[in-house]
Amino acid sequence: MSTHYLWRSRPQKAILTLALSGVGSWAVTSYFTRNAFADDGEPATAFPSKLGTSLRLESSESVNHNTKRLRFEFPNPTARSGLTLTSTVFIAAWPKGRWFPVIRPYTPVSSLNQRGSIDLMVKKYPNGKASTYLHSLTPGDSLYFLTPVSLGYRWTPNQYPHIILIAGGAGITPIYQLAQGILNNPEDKTTITLVFGVNSDADVLLRKEFKDFEQRFSGRFKAVYTVSNPTDGSPFQKGYVTKELLEEIGVRGEKKDTKVFVCGPPAMEKALVGARKQGGVLEQLGYRKDQIHVF
């Protein structure tokens, strides 16, 4: 079960799981992060191999009406995060008036090779305690980061010649992290099709970055956007991520060496992947369960 699904569907269990597995997962993560960049002698990770660390907010950038990009600086300006591809970090927010912190997972959108800082893209939700707190931070404020954990899938370069990335709304962050890690690895030749569904034009996050991917990796990366409520004259097509849209852009399950990654709102994931005994749109298109991973 993915970290994000666990958190959305069973928050109490997620907290208990984090508490019980913190030491073990931190040890595993520390092993991989310590060895991630051992060859060049650089600090392997900005996170300690204990329980967590407090990082200062370096900058806060408004991306749209409800999303900010927050950059937190490492004490060592040459350090990398040391996170592995397809991993997330837990943060502990302490809103005013609360006895206990609010713990939430966020997938960094900064490159794994970025030195000196780590970037989070945070969407503010109505009555969202953690997101409201994070949006209130100003440069110089500190935030406590807990253990990094895997998103349930460890990527192997060139394992698949082609992958499909399907994202909805804020679910774009783990999808972007994976695409970025693949394309920035000169040894990885995997080709990527991204399908990104949102509510409005303003919700098309990271469009500049995806456009850059299309220019730098022509023939390897393609992005398709669909907006349920586009503005007049919108450059995006209107609609949802449907079976018809996926068929139109050639997402079919005939090729058995293709992997599909999905991350989005629960209703979207259920429609695409299906319930426990009932298949969804992807199964109708010919994909097996083992060809699909939900972050």
What is d(CA 205, CA 175) in angstroms, rounded to the nearest whole number? 12
What is d(CA 280, CA 293) in angstroms, rounded to the nearest whole number? 13
138 is in an annotated binding site: no
- Helix residue ranges per DSSP H, 84-192: 129-136, 172-183
What single letter denotes the amino acid at residue 197? G
208 is in an annotated binding site: no
104 is in an annotated binding site: yes
What's the number of CA atoms in the CB half-sphere (13 Å) around residue 259?
18
Q: Which two tokens stand for residue 196?
A: 């990104």
106 is in an annotated binding site: yes
What is d(CA 20, CA 116) in angstroms, rounded to the nearest whole number? 30
Which residues pair with residue 106 across a beta bridge? 89
173 is in an annotated binding site: yes
Residue that has been written with the tokens 């992997």 in this structure: 259
Closest C-alpha to 53, from 78, 28, 34, 26: 26
Cβ-in-10-Å burial (0-12, 13-18, 19+) of 235 comes to exposed
What's the number of CA atoms in the CB half-sphere (13 Å) around residue 279?
13
Query: Residue 12: CB partners within 8 Å, gap ≥ 6?
Result: none
- For residue 144, which phi and psi values (nearest 5 degrees)? -90, 125
Which residues belong to the annotated binding site for FAD? 104-106, 123, 129, 131, 173
Residues at the binding site are 104-106, 123, 129, 131, 173
